[in-house]
């Protein structure tokens, strides 16, 4: 079996913060999303590969080298060119060969052990499912109906969901199913794995489900990203920083090397402050601030601020600020 971490998307729903940075490399706690996944994969002892695109290839190379992971790179540079999940799986098979594949979405954060997941694999397609507990929320995902642990219905983003169980982007596809990808794509089918699962069910291909609880985050929006931060930020990580005697740190937080916390600033709870930021006389909580950003005399709550921004004399709530932005209200 091979492991394929899917990171070939352009994450347009999180633009502008993902316009030049892949979603899988967004920080959550003291690590990026990809490293949370790699930690779970490393217990398996399987050959592991990251599937990405030419535009983001350079971002992933340091992680591939650090963790001894291979790269499968599709030759695309723009959203409209991307192969999609199933197309990227086809490319992986062409490069790496037919095999059973454990496929993990690269924007996924989940609580279960992949070793436990694979212990349930019996040679048939296996998918991880999670109960989101709300029919309205289920409309955003692939909705699953089960009989025992057998999948009897799968509908991608239905208008009227039949359950609140959804697929979470973690699959095992046996070799015989990987062989079917070319046939599936040749008929002009959607590149989403959900539609592939539906197609397999129509062919009477047996599909099993692995149910888990605790937490699951599909980092597809600012809200889900911030909620993941709150769940996974269990402990504080404060590196070599300059801090004013009047400042207050309310854990858990992550404050990266070179940051300066000046004046009567309050950082936390649940805040990520990137490298070489300057925070002065400001209150930041439930927020993510990327590197080399300057914030003065401001209150930031439940917001994401990209790198190299300057924010002065503002109150930002539930905001998403793109890189290099300069915004202020009078001095």
Please provide the DSSP assignment of 173-222 as one string.
E-HHHHTTHHHHHHTT--SSHHHHHHHHHHTT--EEEEEE-S-EEE--SH
pLDDT of residue 82: 61
pLDDT of residue 21: 81
Q: Angle CA(35)–CA(40)–CA(44) in degrees, nearest 5? A: 125
Number of neighbouring beta carbons within 10 Å of residue 136: 9
pLDDT of residue 222: 83
pLDDT of residue 189: 66
pLDDT of residue 323: 87
3-state helix, strand and coil shares in percent for the chain, rounded to the nearest 5: 25, 35, 40
Q: Angle CA(107)–CA(235)–CA(219) in degrees, nearest 5? A: 15
E strands, 91-173, where?
101-105, 108-110, 125-131, 142-147, 150-156, 165-173
- Provide the whole-model pTM: 0.89
Spell out the per-residue pLDDT of the chain, length 331, in tens. 999 999 877 656 666 777 778 889 998 988 899 999 999 999 899 999 999 988 889 999 999 999 999 999 988 755 555 657 898 899 999 999 999 999 999 989 999 999 999 999 999 999 999 999 999 999 989 999 999 999 999 999 999 999 999 999 999 999 999 999 999 988 876 778 889 999 999 999 999 999 998 899 988 788 888 999 999 888 899 999 999 999 999 999 999 999 999 999 999 999 999 999 999 999 999 999 999 999 999 999 999 999 999 999 999 999 989 889 999 886 5
Token pair, residue 246, equals: 């009047």
Q: Angle CA(276)–CA(277)–CA(282) in degrees, nearest 5? A: 155
């Amino acid at each position: 079996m091979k492991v394929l971490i899917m990171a070939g998307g352009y994450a347009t729903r999180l633009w502008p913060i993902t316009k030049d940075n892949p979603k899988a490399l967004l920080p959550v706690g003291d690590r990026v999303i990809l490293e949370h996944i790699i930690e779970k994969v490393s217990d398996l002892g399987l050959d592991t590969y990251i599937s990405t695109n030419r535009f983001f290839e350079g971002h992933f190379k340091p992680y591939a080298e650090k963790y001894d992971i291979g790269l499968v790179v599709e030759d695309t540079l723009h959203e409209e060119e991307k192969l999609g999940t199933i197309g990227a799986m086809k490319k992986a098979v062409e490069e790496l060969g037919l095999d059973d594949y454990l496929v993990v979405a690269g924007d996924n954060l989940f609580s279960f052990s992949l070793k436990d997941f694979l212990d349930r694999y019996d040679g048939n397609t296996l998918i991880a499912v999670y109960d989101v507990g709300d029919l309205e929320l289920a409309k955003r995902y692939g909705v699953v109906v089960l009989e025992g642990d057998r999948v009897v219905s799968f509908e991608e983003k239905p208008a009227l969901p039949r359950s609140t169980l959804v697929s979470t982007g973690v699959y095992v596809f046996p070799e015989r199913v990987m062989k079917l990808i070319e046939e599936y794509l040749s008929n002009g089918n959607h590149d989403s794995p959900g539609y592939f699962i539906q197609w397999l069910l129509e062919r009477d291909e047996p599909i099993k489900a692995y149910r888990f609880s605790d937490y699951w985050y599909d980092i597809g929006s600012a809200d889900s990203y911030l909620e993941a931060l709150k769940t996974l930020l269990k402990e504080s990580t404060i590196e070599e920083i300059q801090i004013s005697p009047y400042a207050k740190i309310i854990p858990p937080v992550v404050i990266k090397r070179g940051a300066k916390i000046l004046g009567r600033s309050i950082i936390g709870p649940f805040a990520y402050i990137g490298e070489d930021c300057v925070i002065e006389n400001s209150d930041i909580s439930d927020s993510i601030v990327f590197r080399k950003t300057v914030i003065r005399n401001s209150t930031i709550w439940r917001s994401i601020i990209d790198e190299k921004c300057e924010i002065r004399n503002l109150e930002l709530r539930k905001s998403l600020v793109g890189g290099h932005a300069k915004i202020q209200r009078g001095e």
